[in-house]
Amino acid sequence: MSTGKLTRKGEARRKEILEVFHDVLSCEGLEGASMSKVASRMGVAPSLIMHYFPSKEEMVVALVDHILARYEETFLPRLRGIGDPEERLRAATDLLLGPEWPGLVDEAVFYACYSLGFRDRRVRESFRRMYARLREVLAEEIAALMDEGAVVRGDPWNAADLVITLLEGYDFYRGVMEGEKHFEDFGRFLRETVLTLLGTGGEKELGVSPSQVQARQVPSGEAAASYTRAASAEKARGPGGGARTR
Amino acid sequence: MSTGKLTRKGEARRKEILEVFHDVLSCEGLEGASMSKVASRMGVAPSLIMHYFPSKEEMVVALVDHILARYEETFLPRLRGIGDPEERLRAATDLLLGPEWPGLVDEAVFYACYSLGFRDRRVRESFRRMYARLREVLAEEIAALMDEGAVVRGDPWNAADLVITLLEGYDFYRGVMEGEKHFEDFGRFLRETVLTLLGTGGEKELGVSPSQVQARQVPSGEAAASYTRAASAEKARGPGGGARTR
DNA sequence: AGCATAATTGAATGTTCATTCAATTATGCT
DNA sequence: AGCATAATTGAATGAACATTCAATTATGCT
């Protein structure tokens, strides 16, 4: 985009530089990561790095787009094949809250980039755009569920925001609690909770980690408490009517 | 703790240094914050900084404890005066998700410190300890509610983890979406949602942002869908029976 | 008042950094 | 084959950095 002529070799170099920079950033953080270290780790002259990225800021901005794209390139295609809206939403939340997601991008790198967003306008806007797109997709999915089964009610935008909040809170919390035994339990609990909240959770009850369920009676009628399952309809308008966000 | 003899003046200097460092960190990030800048901003010799903090790492570790303590010093006393467990839990979530919380510590500083936790053992453990304590308090509150009204059911530990997840996800999401009109709506929605989830939400329904509620019928019986309000009891054991966490 | 100790200075060290520039080598196009 | 252009080198620059040390000033205690 911003770079001049690049041959195939040049494109590969550019990508290689970003990947090495990713590694250095993972090990040393924003404070310790430098173009010199990238160069020396690659065994090339520092000036070569600057041939591809005119400044350190350009490099980190490019890295942000690179890692955020990785999320989207994983998320969107995963839903394409699925026809049933309920299954699609379940696949989405399973992916976002599952074991694969945190492995997509190094956590240290992700949060270093996120924290940079408070100082760098372009970084901030890259993040904002990505979450706006994710929000759009999620709201669309939830709205599709509403149109079909009338299982979900309420504002799909709020529901989408809630899913994003749970996703990011869970990732954040993992950074703190990973390795603690209780955190795994909570992961299972959360994956079920979000499904039940969205009305695709089947018969399960909320509030109890599956690992703790033992021979319990499910009250017949409205077992799964869920904001997705109630009377008032008011058919909240779904998304898709253009860019309401930006 | 780790510092030698400090006079009152010395203590004040130490605190002043941490506060200036906080400001520099907020403006320049971990990459740009240096002991030299702290010194020059204070108009003192760089060696004076090193008299109080023998290395940059000591300084940032001290800052982390400083800002994390700010959260706890705000949170804990706020609950002390309140006798009713239901009111206490509401006060807790109102504080954690309300407008005051994000103003306690600069977001840029907070996330810079958090991201440092991926590389620095002591930083990581400070965070872990703080969240473990918050988790303990929240679970205790929720368990107290269970013992009293039997409104809440399920595992209080999972519920506490869920509140923390929502709290941190919300803060993270604010960093991305602050300023967007929809984010304010979502904030109101989330504050009501968490209360309803925990069973202290009164008559409100879930799923619709309050700003969108307009003359709607609340079905009499079990209006508020909530995992806190259902049949099976199974009196999950509350916390307080020692350090189950660490 | 005087002494121990803490607070503070100021200068110096060597390192690493981003960035520059001109020169050289490799590559692709016609 | 040859020429334009891209890829790469290597050396050099100056700034900012964390850290050191010895010397000086302020403070508090008895």
Structure tokens that stand for B201 in this block: 């939400």
Clarify whether residues B34 and B73 are in a common domain.
no
Quick: pLDDT tens for A121-157: 999 999 999 999 999 999 999 998 887 765 556 889 9
Clarify whether residues B89 and B191 are in a common domain.
yes
CATH number, position A23: 1.10.10
Sign of CA dihedral B51, B57, B63, B66: negative
B246 within domain boundaries = no
Question: Which residues in chain A come in under a pLDDT of 70?
Answer: 1-4, 149-153, 200-246
- Reduced 3-state DSSP string for A209-237: CHHHCCCCCCCCCCCCCCCCCCCCCCCCC
Beta carbons of A200 and A145 less than 8 angstroms apart: yes
Clarify whether residues A48 and A69 are in a common domain.
no
In Å, what is the separation between the CA of B13 and the C1' of D22?
23
Beta carbons of A167 and A187 less than 8 angstroms apart: no
Please name the residue of chain A whose CA is at the shortest distance from the CA of residue B114: A111
A83 within domain boundaries = yes
Angle at B126 between CA B120 and CA B129, to 5 degrees: 135
Clarify whether residues B77 and B99 are in a common domain.
yes
Q: How far apart are CA A29 and CA B177, in angstroms?
A: 25
Shortest CA gap A5–chain B (Å): 31
State residue A149's pLDDT score: 64
State residue A201's pLDDT score: 52
Clarify whether residues B143 and B22 are in a common domain.
no
Q: How far apart are CA B148 and CA B67, in angstroms?
A: 35
Clarify whether residues B169 and B88 are in a common domain.
yes
A207 within domain boundaries = no
Clarify whether residues B82 and B193 are in a common domain.
yes
Determine whether the distance from the CB of B56 to the nearest atom of strand C is below 7 Å. Answer: no
A72 within domain boundaries = yes
Sign of CA dihedral A226, A229, A235, A239: positive
B125 within domain boundaries = yes
Burial category of A201 from C-beta neighbours within 10 Å (exposed 0-12, middle 13-18, buried 19 and up): buried
Q: How far apart are CA B73 and CA B65, in angstroms?
A: 12
Clarify whether residues B113 and B28 are in a common domain.
no
State residue A202's pLDDT score: 46
- What is the secondary structure of A4-65 as a DSSP string? ----HHHHHHHHHHHHHHHHHHHHHHHHH--HHHHHHHHTS-HHHHHHH-SSHHHHHHHHHH
A235 within domain boundaries = no
DSSP element (H, E) containing B162:
helix B156-177
A189 within domain boundaries = yes
Determine whether the distance from the CB of B29 to the nearest atom of strand D is below 7 Å. Answer: no
State residue B153's pLDDT score: 65
State residue B199's pLDDT score: 73
Clarify whether residues A50 and A80 are in a common domain.
no
Q: Strand C: which positions are within 7 A of a protein CB? A: 5-12, 16-22, 27-28
Clarify whether residues A167 and A134 are in a common domain.
yes
In Å, what is the separation between the CA of A47 and the C1' of C20?
9
Shortest CA gap A101–chain B (Å): 16
Q: At what angle do helices B121-149 and B156-177 cross, to 10 degrees?
A: 120
State residue B145's pLDDT score: 86
Among candidate residues B229, B224, B182, the one with its CA nearest the CA of residue B207: B224
Clarify whether residues B31 and B128 are in a common domain.
no
Q: How far apart are CA B208 and CA B202, in angstroms?
A: 15
Among candidate residues A119, A110, A169, A99, the one with its CA nearest the CA of residue B117: A110
B50 within domain boundaries = yes
Which residues of chain A neighbour B222 with C-beta distances below 8 Å?
222, 225
- Please give the tally of structural domains in chain B: 2
Range of the domain at B17: 9-54
CATH number, position B161: 1.10.357.10
Q: At what angle do helices A8-32 and A56-80 cross, to 10 degrees?
A: 110
Clarify whether residues B27 and B75 are in a common domain.
no
Question: Which residues in chain B come in under a pLDDT of 70?
Answer: 1-4, 149-153, 200-246
A207/B227 Cβ within 8 A: yes
